[in-house]
Amino acid sequence: MRMKFSSICLVAPALVALGACDGGLVQGASAGEIPQPPSVLQRTMDSVCLQEFSRACLQNPHFCVGAVARRDVGNTAADGEAWRCYSVEELDFSLTKRTCVDDCGELIECQGGVKDTSLEHLSATDKLEGRLQEAQEGMCKIHVRILGGGTSLASCRGSNAPPAAFMTPQGSYFSAFFPGKVDASGVRTHQHAALHIANPRTSQDPKSSVQPAALDRVSEVPSLASAVTAFQLAAHNPRVSGAQSSAAVSGGTAAQAARQVAADTSQDNSTSSIFHEDGLGGLVRGSVRGNLRNRRENVSPVVAQMLYEDMLLGRYVEDACARLYYRGKTAGFVHLYTGQEAVSSGVLKLLRKDDAVASTYRDHVHATSKGVPAREVFAELFGKQTGCSKGFGGSMHMFSKEWNLYGGFAFIGEQIPVALGVAFSQLYRRLAERQLPGEKDQVTVCFMGDGTTNMGQFYEAMNMAALMKLPVIFVVENNNWAIGMAAQRSTAVQEIHQRGPPFGVPSIEVDGMDVLAVRAAARQAIDRARRGEGPSLIEALTYRFRGHSLADPDELRCTHEKAAFAVRDPIKHFEQYMLEMGYANEETLELTRKKMREIVDEAVEFADNSPAPDPTTAGDTTFAPAYEAKGFDPLTDEELAAYAQALKLELDREARKAKGERVVPPPVENDPNPPIVID
């Protein structure tokens, strides 16, 4: 029996791949103990067992280094393994043994990239004869797939297989086989070693975010030191749609190689799912899997500053909303957008003023990103006449005709049919006025949460939008929680972007904590809509840093889940990007922060001093004005004479028919359908 398992734990300081399990229980992993890797003869686990071991890792943060040896002596074979566990203090990086299944190459091929970087090929039998050799050949398939060129399976088999490198935003994974020397008794040892280096920019766990320089300490483990040396010469990265891109690592020290790999992985948006515990006994998806052609968009200093200011403004607006809510300045429920700013800025700063947006009840930042002045947003929150909805909408109903913001909506999914109707009107005008795409090419963006995609309206809208090729972009802000329901407890298939293709809607999953990744995906979708090619679906994986609303104590989400995403704050990461690109320094960043705070402070003061609306005017903005019929254009004298003549002839025929005369319509020259006369 052979079983395949997926990597499940990157939020823990250890990268979990092995556990000693019996009946789903972890052995040797009680509090204070180091989880010991089991004998290779006992490594039979199901998904429940893996989850149990991941929880043990969270409680016992130790890293494991290991190698499995296969000894061939004549016609007999024996398997052995050697392990050493290090505490967090002993090593600044995590290492783990991984053996790959023999059909890994097929998995890579069908996915167009690495599906999983830690598949296990394990046997439940006591006899493991030949299993390690199969695993080595499986790794060879991966090497052939990645390296290509002159590398063949035949040359890889039974020899020192080329090393493989799997790169993700969370880190880099190195793997290689090392055949040992044949000793005097004819024994040859084959070793497999693997190395994981967390990326300090994007790792979900600050404890596993290490500096690449720590790789120099890999010399403590000889087999892995050999691996790093090999990886300096060749580290390859299978990517989107089967494309291959090299990390261009050559020469230098192990630390230099790691820095190059980290730089490459930080620019990437394609990886297999990474999981973190949800505090309810399950595992929640929390990484990126996408098919972007351009992984991150390169932007100019001006555009970078614009994006930074917009995200900062959104964050400060929401911070002020929280303070004012607790002071009693606002009424009703208030749902904050804190943590999701990269999605709003990444999408909406690509729109024009005449493009349309339909939002959710988490709509304050969507409004400011679309262009609605912050003073109008706060005035609306205060219920003042100067608000964008004249003070009658409040927090969940931001609306602006001037900026084509078609509202936030209190009920789940209400915005979807509205967005569809707006997109239909845009297409109708384009066709009715016989204007080609590019001349009147407005688009509509429809925001929604992951929970909304379980509503019937979502599927009806996808079908209609695809059928009619409406210029609409559906943006799903997947923050893992639908109000108080964790995604894996409410959604059968959590990869929401997979719901688009059955309707013929191009879809993509993108890192919603990276504004440049969101912008790259949004640009593709918006350009498609403007060209008249129809709708697109973007699933942005993000996270809200506060509860569902300010009335929510936020006790459902566990502490380590929130901490894991807090280190991925989109604004802090973009600040680091601007510093590294030379677009800003600490002084200019602080000046921008001060500028945005002043805008928010002025907006609050404006709202506080604005008058309340006149209650008698409530209906003025509720109903559309009465329809006024347009007058007809006057007829010319020639047209009037022609109508009079036609009317006279018809009256004459009617009079003759009344006298019993046989009346035939006057003949029409070359009439293809002459009248039939019945006596």
642 in any annotated domain: yes
Final residue before a domain boundary, out of 256, 277, 298: 277
pLDDT at 77 over 60: no
- CATH number reported for the structural domain that contains residue 605 in this entry: 3.40.50.970
Instruction: Say if residues 212 and 258 touch (Cβ distance below 8 Å).
Output: yes
Does residue 653 share a domain with residue 598? Answer: no
Res. 650 pLDDT band, cuts 50 70 90: confident
Structural domain count of the chain: 3
Look up the pTM and report it.
Answer: 0.54
Q: What pLDDT, on the 0 to 100 scale, is given for residue 346? A: 94
289 in any annotated domain: no
Q: What pLDDT, on the 0 to 100 scale, is given for residue 270? A: 30
Does residue 333 share a domain with residue 269? Answer: no
pLDDT digits (tens, 9 = 90+) for 99-149: 222 222 222 222 222 222 232 332 222 222 333 344 444 444 444 443 444
pLDDT at 572 over 80: yes
Q: What is the C-alpha separation between 485 and 209, in angstroms, rounded?
A: 29
Does residue 642 share a domain with residue 570? Answer: no
Q: What is the C-alpha separation between 189 and 336, in angstroms, rounded?
A: 59
302 in any annotated domain: no
Token pair for 348: 């909406």
Does residue 600 share a domain with residue 645? Answer: no
Q: What average pLDDT score do residues 54-64 get?
A: 32
In degrees, rounded to 5, the angle at the alpha carbon of residue 99 between the alpha carbons of residues 95 and 102 is 155
Does residue 462 share a domain with residue 420? Answer: yes
pLDDT at 158 over 50: no
pLDDT at 360 over 60: yes
Q: Decide: residue 179, CB within 10 A, 0-12 exposed, 13-18 middle, 19+ buried.
A: middle
10 versus 646: which is more confidently predicted? 646
pLDDT digits (tens, 9 = 90+) for 464-479: 999 999 999 999 999 8
Does residue 641 share a domain with residue 587? Answer: no
pLDDT at 14 over 80: no
Q: What average pLDDT score do residues 487-496 get?
A: 81
Final residue before a domain boundary, out of 277, 293, 322: 277
Q: What pLDDT, on the 0 to 100 scale, is given for residue 352? A: 94
Q: What pLDDT, on the 0 to 100 scale, is given for residue 560? A: 67
pLDDT digits (tens, 9 = 90+) for 199-211: 333 344 333 332 3
* DSSP structural state of residue 668: -
Strongest mean pLDDT among 86-90, 442-446, 613-617: 442-446
Q: What average pLDDT score do residues 631-646 get?
A: 84
Q: What pLDDT, on the 0 to 100 scale, is given for residue 296? A: 67
13 versus 636: which is more confidently predicted? 636
Does residue 403 share a domain with residue 270? Answer: no
Does residue 595 share a domain with residue 487? Answer: yes
Does residue 615 share a domain with residue 641? Answer: no
Cα 360 to Cα 281, 365, 397, 519, 551, distances in angstroms: 30, 11, 8, 20, 18
pLDDT digits (tens, 9 = 90+) for 430-456: 887 766 656 678 999 999 998 889 889
Average pLDDT, the chain: 64
608 in any annotated domain: yes
Does residue 574 share a domain with residue 491? Answer: yes
Q: What is the C-alpha separation between 580 and 575, in angstroms, rounded?
A: 9
Final residue before a domain boundary, out of 277, 300, 323: 277
Domain range for 235 is 2-277
Q: What pLDDT, on the 0 to 100 scale, is given for residue 182? A: 55
Q: What is the C-alpha separation between 208 and 170, in angstroms, rounded?
A: 10
Does residue 494 share a domain with residue 393? Answer: yes
pLDDT digits (tens, 9 = 90+) for 248-301: 222 233 333 333 333 333 333 332 222 222 222 222 333 333 333 335 678 889
426 in any annotated domain: yes
Cα 442 to Cα 193, 350, 405, 572, distances in angstroms: 55, 12, 13, 33
Q: What pLDDT, on the 0 to 100 scale, is given for residue 553? A: 80
Q: What pLDDT, on the 0 to 100 scale, is given for residue 341? A: 93
286 in any annotated domain: no
Res. 238 pLDDT band, cuts 50 70 90: very low
Q: What is the C-alpha separation between 554 and 343, in angstroms, rounded?
A: 22
Token pair for 352: 């024009």
pLDDT at 519 over 90: yes
> Whats the size of the chain, residue-wise?
679
Q: What is the C-alpha separation between 644 and 636, in angstroms, rounded?
A: 12
pLDDT digits (tens, 9 = 90+) for 528-567: 999 999 999 999 989 888 888 887 787 777 776 777 778 8
Q: DSSP secondary structure string, 412-443?
A: TTTHHHHHHHHHHHHHHHHHHTT--TTTS---
pLDDT at 508 over 80: yes
545 in any annotated domain: yes
149 in any annotated domain: yes
Does residue 257 share a domain with residue 404? Answer: no
